[in-house]
Amino acid sequence: MSSVTTPPSHGDLDRRLAQNAEAIEALLGALLASEPAEGEIARPPRLVAAMRHGALGGGKRLRPFLTVETARLLGAAPEQGLRAGAAVELLHCYSLVHDDLPAMDDDDLRRGRPTVHKAFDEATAILAGDALLTLAFEVLADEATHPDGAVRAALVSALARASGLGGMVGGQMLDLAAEGRFEAQRGSLLEAMIRQLQAMKTGALLAVSVEIGARLGGADAAALAALGQYGRALGATFQVADDILDVESDAARMGKATAKDEDKGKATLIGALGLDGAKRERDRLSEAAVAALAGFGPQADVLRAAACFAAQRKS
């Protein structure tokens, strides 16, 4: 691996990741309580249980970490960053619940546990995903996330754009098409098409995690542009690293099935560039993410370290 992708001085990255994951977990637990929130009629217990199964007890929480740390970098109130980060994670968890369904990726294992449709049933999993999705926007639209309605509207718009037709959902549709679901796939996808698919399916939500933190902190146009470059490069880094892990890691370490991409004919940069070429591209993208933060000084070291973590992670 290139020496440039060695993490910068960031001795507290692991601690910050763990602290953020703990705080996000606690907030998600409160948001997914069994008691109805103000204005609600009731919360069906089975639905709440399925939502909690899909959202709690999971991973390093990289997406909300990016939101929280970007907001912190720009001086937003910590509780605002946490609420916005929780909203991003709720949306991410919805996408995992739906992606795991038999009609999509048909996975039995997620984060080392049965997927929601295996632990409950398919209908409950669909509804749990729907409810996590809509709760994400409810959290962002709440005054507790930011007192300025214009800021809240910008956050909602950004997350909707990144997660919908032209972002994550559209990318999932392209991914299904690339598998030959709807018609025979003629040859391999071009590299540019794979990059577009991955930028939409995975990269868009990682990038908007950064954008939401920036908007919470009142970033100006120049800061938004630089952080946008960082977020897009980090998102691409994460996806290439994920493709590499699917080849090189195992289910015990990953907490989900591996070696699936080639079996399903999924479009990855490994197919276009080869394994060694994909590793070089992963490192190049990580370096580009770090370089995009050149104007932010040492206060952005944790975000720089996150770009290196995205490239070097083992699970």
CATH number of the domain to which 120 belongs: 1.10.600.10
Tens of pLDDT, residue by residue over 221-278, are: 999 999 999 999 999 999 999 999 988 876 555 455 555 555 566 788 998 899 999 9
Return the pLDDT at 179: 86
C-alpha distances (whole Å) from 28 to each of 33, 117, 251, 302 are 9, 20, 26, 23
Total domains present in the chain: 1
pLDDT of amino acid 8: 43
* Distance (Å, whole) CA 104 – CA 100: 6
Q: Report yes or no on 129 lying in a domain.
A: yes
Domain boundaries, position 262: 11-310
**Distances in Å between the alpha carbon of 24 and those of 16, 68, 202?**
12, 10, 21
Nearest to 237 by CA among 283, 305, 276: 283
Q: Has residue 6 been placed in a domain?
A: no
| Domain contains 2 | no
Q: Residue 39: CB partners within 8 Å, gap ≥ 6?
A: none
Give the CA dihedral 302, 306, 308, 314, nearest 10 degrees. 130
How confident is the model at residue 248, as a pLDDT? 86
At 79 the pLDDT is 97
Task: Flag whether 271 is in a domain.
Answer: yes
CA 66, CA 133: separation in Å to the nearest integer? 19
**Does residue 84 contact residue 155 with C-beta atoms inside 8 Å?**
yes
Q: Which residues of the chain have pLDDT under 70?
A: 1-11, 184-188, 250-265
Supply φ then ψ for residue 35, to 5 degrees. Answer: -75, 140
The reply to whether 1 falls in a domain is: no
User: Is 219 contained in some domain?
Assistant: yes
Cα(258)–Cα(19) distance, integer angstroms: 28
Please name which of 103, 130, 106, 132 lies closest in space to residue 118, comparing C-alpha atoms.
Answer: 106
* 67 belongs to a structural domain: yes
Residue with tokens 């939409």: 200
Residue 147 inside a domain? The answer is yes
Q: What is the predicted pLDDT for the residue at 254?
A: 47
For residues 58 and 111, the answer to whether their CB atoms sit within 8 Å is yes
Contacts with 185 (C-beta within 8 Å, 6 or more apart), sequence order: 178, 179, 265
Q: What is the pTM of this model?
A: 0.90
pLDDT tens string 271-283: 889 999 999 999 9
Contacts of residue 231, defined as CB under 8 A and 6 or more positions apart, other chains included, come to 66, 206, 207, 208, 209, 210, 211
